[in-house]
Amino acid sequence: QVHLVESGGGLVQPGGSLRLSCVASGRTFSRLDMAWWRQAPGKGREFVALNWDESKTYYTESVKGRFTISRDSAKNTVYLQMDGLKPEDTAVYFCAAGENTKDRGYEFWGQGTQVTVSS
């Protein structure tokens, strides 16, 4: 199995920035597709960003130009840099991972970290 632990959430004002981290263990990190999902209060879980093959990325339209996903293979860590935060970004953010996620989906999930954007 793969164990995922998120950190870096907190309270930030609109227009501010946060960087989320997700540390993976239990499997060769380079083989994993890594993604961020989020769930706002009373809403369903929403895809946010994907990183695979070390540097390839894909984002949902609502965060393009504001969020950046990246990984540091030496630390088995994936990051989500969030800039220009908006109140509608408020959610619990989850790290997700798997191999061949196009075919198998995301097999492993972290516990989530809360991001609150409010003045």
**pLDDT for res 104:** 86
pLDDT at position 98 over 90: yes
* pLDDT tens readout for residues 30-56: 889 999 999 999 999 999 999 999 899
Residue 31 carries which DSSP code? G
pLDDT at position 106 over 90: yes
* pLDDT tens readout for residues 56-89: 999 999 999 999 999 999 999 999 999 999 999 9
Beta strands in 1-119 (DSSP E): 3-7, 10-12, 18-25, 33-39, 45-52, 56-59, 67-72, 77-82, 91-98, 108-109, 113-117
For residues 100-108, give the mean pLDDT: 88
Residues 104, 29, 69, 13, CA torsion sign? positive
3-state secondary structure of 62: helix
**pLDDT for res 108:** 95
* pLDDT tens readout for residues 1-34: 899 999 999 999 999 999 999 999 987 888 899 9
